[in-house]
Amino acid sequence: MPRISPHFLELFDANGAPRGVLLSAELWERCKDQVLPPLTKALYVLDPAARPEPEVRPEPLQEWETLLAYWDFTYPPAYDVHCDCCGAATDDWRADEPRKFRLRNANLGGLVTFQCAGCKALVLKKHFKKHLTVECKPYVDKG
């Protein structure tokens, strides 16, 4: 690259360490379609907080209500949720505002899943006829 150009300028600090690059609007317009996708991908690796939040789906509360309507387990439903990954906890996930845990799924087989708002871990409550088991799986970024 040329060291001095009205379209491309490498920026250095007082010690000579690279600080960035300045592109003219004309140069950016000519190359942004090819350059922006890899730049965006690299940015998300360097700064995960820059990644846009995914669209939040509504909680499947009707599925939860269906499970409760057909509840035939030998114990009452439990509304407490605890995240083993970050320590977040609530006595009643339905009453929290804002939610500490979002309902992700509930089915008639007794599997109820929640996502921790703090660390995004998945909390699985598996309801069996006579007992309940709880698992916590850490969040894994698939992007």
Global confidence as pTM:
0.62
Asked, for residue 87, whether it belongs to a domain, the answer is yes
pLDDT of 74 above 80: yes
* Domain assignment of residue 31, given as a range: 8-50
pLDDT interval class at 3 (50, 70, 90): low
| Residues 100 and 74 grouped into a single domain | yes
Asked, for residue 83, whether it belongs to a domain, the answer is yes
| Residues 97 and 133 grouped into a single domain | yes
| Residues 66 and 130 grouped into a single domain | yes
> Which residues share a beta bridge with 18?
12
| Residues 29 and 66 grouped into a single domain | no
| Residues 80 and 119 grouped into a single domain | yes
Task: List pLDDT tens digits, range 15-67.
Answer: 999 999 999 999 999 999 999 999 988 888 888 778 777 677 889 999 999 99
pLDDT at residue 2 in the model: 56
